[in-house]
């Protein structure tokens, strides 16, 4: 099927005839037939995708064969390739990586794959060999990407493996079909029709995720509804998990912390209460009976009105460990969000999470990850990295990014976020000396996780705007490999989505690559932040001063008065700078050395300047 993908439905998985004649001839010569060795459920998906892609790209029929005869594409796991009736040699990568992973069950080594060219007699083969069945699908998409972007495939020698183990899309989808901070229609999950009716779109969603290496989806809003844990809803979730499984995607849920009261009829949700722990243990066991590969929970507790352990005088570690314990026996993880800002803890919201969580370092069960947003306030157009990264050396930290453009003009503004995420990932925390980047902390060789708040919905083009798709794409690509550059990701997305024509590529790339900085400049320049209109967060409202608590007011953040503007987080102010390691804390503290982009975020800047003048 060859389409123009004008409505955007096919995302970056649209396959157009290769425009470059020389490349087209090369691809036609290299791929006379396809041999899919896998027999897993994923094999059908792979075959369907190759049957859709290759005839369209090559503009001619490419038959499937049981064994290779001529120049062929061979696809399978390392084991399958080794057993295949072919005289193929196995490549070093396959052998090296085919060792037990550091984790029980699926490890990131199992997510790896290689794509190698081999010459046997007069025949050439392209062998795609993945370390496990779920990894075969992403590896096939990697190969298709080479063709979509018109790369030279004569001598392939590619090895790839994810740098982060859990790569999850978090959907802030409510059970009534609405989406918190969603700008692309309704929720993709039709809870009323599940589990009986399986929308074909669920498959297309999973396929798109698998194509960029995403391996998890948290289905419901972190502002959770206890109903999602009822048997009725778990059966619906199980139906989605069944769809996603062959695509290598596990489902996660956001539980309501007070579910034992709402659903279990208990009088308390205190995590230290044995009856509460027993209720969760049973609930989690029920989930795993229905969904044997359930990923785990993502919890928002004691944050913005959500219940949590502190309501009963317990703390985050009590709550997290109780849930983590219930999940651990089944291999699940617990993502406990650090998005807390109780201003009785500290008047500066940027200080709150560190004050609550740093003292708990080392107290969490091994399957707990503390999940922090990229910055300490709230997904603003520009923030410095969250000082929790580098402050909890004994605890795995997950990085949460927001793909949906809540504070970025939503689905109306073209803002490509790849550059921002690259900046965050490569920020040096100096926690263990130079080179302790956020990326390194997040990808530590224990549990590692990155979460992106999804921008998908029922709009025909999935994301509300074709260009917003690039952010879903960039999240997946960076989650797989944070060493990829944002401009290279934009380049490949444009080629796959729009065209390989150099004018198109150059023009669109220029628009995309300049868009984040432009957004920062027209929305929150020099580190100003939280100026958007309350509730919907679209457009400016710097004068807003009517919120029920001071830190929900915009004037609280910019502090503009007759003397200047900006939030003083220096040692003369909230001393947030002290939460960063040297030399950053000194650098941020001083107006002379603070990077201009944070001038109104950290130092007592303009006030000082004016006083000095």
Interacting residues with ligand GCW between 475 and 514 (CB under 6 A): none
β-partners of residue 335 are: 298, 369
Residue 561: DSSP 8-state: B
For the bound state, the minimum distance from the C-beta of residue 172 to ligand GCW, rounded and expressed in Å, comes to: 5
Identify which of 73, 134, 163, 56 has the alpha carbon closest to the alpha carbon of residue 496: 56
Interacting residues with ligand GCW between 335 and 364 (CB under 6 A): 339
Interacting residues with ligand GCW between 215 and 234 (CB under 6 A): 222-223
300, 316, 349, 529: residue in contact with ligand GCW (rule CB under 6 A): 300
Torsion on CA atoms 261, 266, 272, 278, rounded to nearest 10: -100
- Catalytic site includes residue 378: yes
Q: How far apart are CA 12 and CA 145, in angstroms?
A: 9
Closer to ligand GCW by CB, 181 or 382: give it: 181
For residue 379, state whether it binds ligand GCW (rule: CB under 6 A).
yes
For residue 604, state whether it binds ligand GCW (rule: CB under 6 A).
no
Closer to ligand GCW by CB, 339 or 480: give it: 339
Q: Are 352 and 340 in contact (CB under 8 A)?
A: yes
Closer to ligand GCW by CB, 116 or 529: give it: 529
- Catalytic site includes residue 483: no
Contacts of 114 (CB under 8 A, 6+ apart): 91, 93, 94, 127, 128, 129, 139, 158, 159, 160
Interacting residues with ligand GCW between 515 and 534 (CB under 6 A): none
Q: Which entry of 22, 176, 192, 304 is annotated as an active-site residue?
A: 304
Question: In what order do the strands lie in the sheet containing 113-120?
Answer: 33-36, 72-77, 123-130, 113-120, 157-160
For the bound state, the minimum distance from the C-beta of residue 380 to ligand GCW, rounded and expressed in Å, comes to: 9
Per-residue b or e along 391-405, where b marks 16 or more CB atoms closer than 10 Å to that residue's CB: bbeebbbbbbbbbbb
Residue 447 CA: distances (Å) to CA of 37, 78, 111, 332, 425: 31, 25, 14, 11, 17
Q: How far apart are CA 305 and CA 526, in angstroms?
A: 31
Closer to ligand GCW by CB, 159 or 180: give it: 180
- Catalytic site includes residue 406: yes
For the bound state, the minimum distance from the C-beta of residue 180 to ligand GCW, rounded and expressed in Å, comes to: 5
| Cβ neighbourhood burial of 32 (10 Å; 0-12, 13-18, 19+) | middle
Closer to ligand GCW by CB, 10 or 383: give it: 383
For the bound state, the minimum distance from the C-beta of residue 551 to ligand GCW, rounded and expressed in Å, comes to: 13
Q: Which entry of 406, 491, 568, 589 is annotated as an active-site residue?
A: 406
For the bound state, the minimum distance from the C-beta of residue 405 to ligand GCW, rounded and expressed in Å, comes to: 12
For the bound state, the minimum distance from the C-beta of residue 285 to ligand GCW, rounded and expressed in Å, comes to: 28
Q: How far apart are CA 92 and CA 116, in angstroms?
A: 11
For residue 205, state whether it binds ligand GCW (rule: CB under 6 A).
no
Closer to ligand GCW by CB, 222 or 490: give it: 222
Interacting residues with ligand GCW between 169 and 198 (CB under 6 A): 172, 180-181
In 224-303, which ranges are E strands? 250-253, 296-299
Closer to ligand GCW by CB, 465 or 530: give it: 530
Q: Which entry of 346, 378, 568, 604 is annotated as an active-site residue?
A: 378
Residue with CB nearest ligand GCW?
378
Residue 485 CA: distances (Å) to CA of 18, 344, 434: 25, 41, 21
Q: How many residues bind ligand GCW (CB under 6 A)?
A: 11
For the bound state, the minimum distance from the C-beta of residue 305 to ligand GCW, rounded and expressed in Å, comes to: 10
User: Among all residues, which ones are annotated catalytic?
Assistant: 304, 378, 406
Q: Which residues bind ligand GCW (CB under 6 A)?
A: 172, 180-181, 222-223, 300, 304, 339, 378-379, 406
């Amino acid at each position: 099927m060859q389409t123009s993908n004008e409505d955007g439905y096919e995302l970056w998985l649209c396959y157009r005839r290769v425009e470059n004649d020389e490349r087209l001839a090369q691809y036609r010569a290299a791929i006379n037939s396809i041999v899919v060795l896998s027999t897993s459920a994923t094999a059908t998906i792979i075959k369907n995708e190759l049957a859709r892609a290759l005839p369209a790209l090559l503009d001619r029929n490419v038959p499937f064969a049981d064994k290779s005869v001529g120049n062929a594409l061979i696809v399978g796991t390392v084991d399958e390739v080794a057993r295949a009736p072919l005289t193929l040699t196995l490549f070093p990568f396959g052998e090296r990586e085919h060792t037990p992973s550091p984790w029980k069950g699926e490890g990131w080594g199992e997510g790896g794959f290689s794509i190698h060219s081999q010459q046997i007699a007069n025949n050439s083969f392209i062998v795609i060999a993945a370390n496990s069945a779920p990894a075969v699908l992403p590896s096939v998409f990697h190969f298709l990407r080479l063709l979509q972007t018109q790369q030279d495939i004569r001598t392939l020698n590619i090895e790839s493996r994810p740098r982060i183990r859990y790569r999850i899309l978090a959907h802030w989808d409510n059970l009534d079909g609405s989406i918190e901070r969603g700008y692309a229609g309704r929720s993709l999950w039709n809870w009323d029709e599940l589990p009986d009716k399986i929308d074909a779109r669920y498959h297309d969603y999973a396929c798109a995720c698998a194509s960029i290496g995403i391996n998890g989806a948290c289905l419901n809003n972190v502002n959770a509804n206890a109903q999602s844990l009822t048997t009725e809803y778990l059966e619906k979730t199980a139906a989605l998990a069944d769809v996603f499984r062959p695509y290598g995607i596990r489902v996660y849920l956001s539980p309501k912390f007070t579910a034992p009261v709402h659903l279990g009829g208990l009088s308390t949700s205190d995590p230290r209460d044995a009856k509460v722990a027993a209720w969760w243990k049973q609930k989690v066991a029920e989930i795993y009976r229905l969904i044997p590969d359930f990923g785990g929970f993502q919890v928002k507790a004691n944050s913005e009105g959500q219940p949590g352990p502190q309501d009963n005088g317990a703390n985050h570690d009590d709550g997290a460990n109780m849930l983590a314990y219930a999940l651990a026996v089944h291999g699940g993880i617990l993502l406990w969000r650090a998005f807390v800002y109780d201003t009785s803890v500290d008047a500066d919201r940027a200080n709150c999470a560190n004050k609550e969580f740093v003292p708990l370092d080392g107290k969490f069960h091994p399957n707990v990850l503390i999940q922090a947003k990229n910055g300490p306030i709230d997904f603003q157009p520009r923030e410095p990295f969250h000082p929790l990264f580098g402050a909890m050396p004994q605890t795995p930290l997950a990085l949460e990014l927001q793909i949906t453009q809540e504070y970025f003009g939503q689905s109306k503004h073209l803002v490509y976020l790849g550059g921002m995420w690259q900046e965050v990932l490569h920020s040096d925390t100096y926690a263990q000396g130079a080179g302790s980047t956020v990326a390194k902390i997040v990808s530590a060789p224990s549990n590692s996780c990155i979460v992106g708040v999804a921008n998908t919905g029922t709009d025909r083009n999935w994301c509300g705007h074709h260009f917003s798709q690039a952010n879903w794409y960039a999240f997946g690509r960076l989650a797989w490999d944070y060493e990829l550059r944002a401009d290279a990701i934009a380049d490949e997305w444009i080629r796959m989505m729009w065209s390989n024509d150099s004018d198109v590529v150059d023009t669109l790339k220029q628009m995309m690559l300049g868009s984040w900085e432009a957004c920062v400049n027209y929305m929150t320049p020099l580190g100003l932040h939280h100026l958007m209109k309350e509730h919907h967060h679209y457009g400016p409202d710097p004068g807003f001063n009517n919120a029920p608590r001071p830190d929900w007011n915009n004037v609280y953040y910019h502090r503009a008065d007759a003397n200047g503007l900006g939030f003083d987080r220096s040692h003369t102010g909230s001393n947030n700078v002290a939460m960063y390691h040297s030399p950053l804390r000194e650098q941020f503290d001083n107006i002379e050395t603070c990077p201009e982009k944070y001038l109104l975020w950290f130092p007592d800047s303009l006030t000082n300047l004016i006083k000095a003048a």
